[in-house]
Amino acid sequence: MTEHYHAVIWIDHREARVFHFNAHDADEHVVHPHDPTVHLHVHANQVGSGHAPVDQKFLHQVTDAVAKSKAILITGPASAKHELMKHMEHHDPQIAKCVAGVEAIDHPTNGELIAHARKFFRAADKMTPQKA
């Protein structure tokens, strides 16, 4: 896998698709949790929120996948993107500093995700000096 300056993560509770990319190519890495979350229902008169706990090991694997990236965009359809950002801030603050944005994106194809990330970083890179 080639080392690229930019990375984009699309994450939900079932998988994370990580792309390291530049203007011409992209490398994909998919991370799956050891025990994917099942859909839970909240029932009246029961203790607990009905939500499964955050899989910290999964979030750590995703964080490791972008550890060498200098500019990261985190995307996804629900709360997993924010859970990943909180995990990075708490466990890997140096990596968290490389996060340029956290955005809601439903279920894009790989091509749509990479195109969106390239467009995002074209604008963001004009505002931020790049340091190796």
Q: Each residue of 52-100: pLDDT tens digit?
A: 677 999 999 999 999 999 999 999 998 999 999 999 999 999 999 999 9
Helices 56-65, 80-91: inter-axial angle, 10-degree rounding = 80
Please list, in sequence order, all residues whose beta carbon lies within 8 angstroms of the beta carbon of residue 105, skipping any fewer than 6 positions away. 10, 75, 76, 77, 113, 116
Domains along the chain? 1-23+54-132 (3.30.420.60)
What is the pLDDT, as a whole number, of residue 7?
97
Q: Is 43 helix (H, G, I), strand (E, B) or coil?
A: coil
pLDDT band at residue 34 under the 50/70/90 scheme: confident
Please give the distance of CA 122 from its chain centroid, rounded to a whole number: 19
pLDDT computed for residue 36 by the predictor: 63
